[in-house]
Amino acid sequence: MARPILIAPSILSADFARLADEVVAVEQAGADLLHIDVMDGHFVPNLTVGPPIVKALKNVTKLPLDVHLMMTNADAFIPDFAKAGADYLTVHVEACPHLHRTIQSIKERGVKAGVTLNPATPVQTLEEILPDVDLVLIMSVNPGFGGQQFIASCLNKVRTTRQMLDRIGSRALLEVDGGVKADNAAAVLEAGADVLVAGSAIFSGRDYAATISALRMTKRVDDPVHR
């Protein structure tokens, strides 16, 4: 059976002065998750939001909050993000020397645990942790900014990760983040992604519903059910 295609708008490209309205708008436009990018100015060269914004957004949307931690010391903030209402907390393998402990710490708080990789980090670094995670995020840009160009070589990483997940019978979501647009969504889905993160593709247009359905309606080229 075909897996559902989930769309996660990244609020990084939203109008921050009208953030609650923007979130309500993407929820009404058919989003499945809300992707929140947390940047610490150290692991990545940018600063964004922290637990108070996650908490505030929890009050304005029923969408699951998919929180992407681009932080050097994620461990110290996991309790606060869990309390704030994160549904998924995703950490970078490059920033977590005790990745197993970090993933357990997320799950102990009743939050779904995700793991993510920068474009130059091999997928083989996931091998040992894969059975423990609820989500795998393959970065298709170098994290830090919205509106960057999709790095096509990341498609192979998506394909390999899909095989690794299938091999162990994992039901973890496979998410792709960075430069995803209607014109490359088919290739990303064909490689095996379940969740498409899209920031600038959604928020730079006027019709959020049209963009979200254009991303979602992209056919899986390898799926006979959808041919």
Judged by CB under 6 A, does residue 143 bind ligand DX5? yes
Identity of the residue, 103 or 139, whose beta carbon is nearer to Zn ion in the bound complex: 139
> Among 30, 50, 85, 144, which residue sits at the site for ligand DX5 (rule: CB under 6 A)?
144
Strands 6-9 and 34-39: unpaired
- Burial grade of 44 (CB within 10 A; 0-12, 13-18, 19 or more): buried
Judged by CB under 6 A, does residue 179 bind ligand DX5? yes
Question: From the CB of 10, what's the least distance to Zn ion, in Å?
Answer: 6
Active site residues: 37, 177
Q: Cα separation of 118 and 138, whole Å?
A: 7
Q: Choose among 2, 20, 11, 4: nearest CA to 177.
A: 11
Question: From the CB of 37, what's the least distance to Zn ion, in Å?
Answer: 4
Judged by CB under 6 A, does residue 7 bind ligand DX5? no
Q: Cα separation of 176 and 195, whole Å?
A: 6
Q: Cα separation of 24 and 99, whole Å?
A: 34
Token couple for 63: 């969408």
Judged by CB under 6 A, does residue 10 bind ligand DX5? yes
Question: From the CB of 195, what's the least distance to ligand DX5, in Å?
Answer: 11
Q: Which stretch binds Zn ion (CB under 5 A): 29-37, 115-123, 179-187, 188-196?
A: 29-37
CB atoms within 10 A of CB 65: 22
Q: Choose among 84, 13, 28: nearest CA to 53.
A: 84
What residues from 182 to 201 belong to the interface with ligand DX5 (CB under 6 A)?
Answer: 197-201
Judged by CB under 6 A, does residue 35 bind ligand DX5? yes
Judged by CB under 5 A, does residue 181 bind Zn ion? no
Binding region for ligand DX5 (CB under 6 A):
10, 12-13, 35, 37, 68, 141, 143-148, 177-180, 197-201
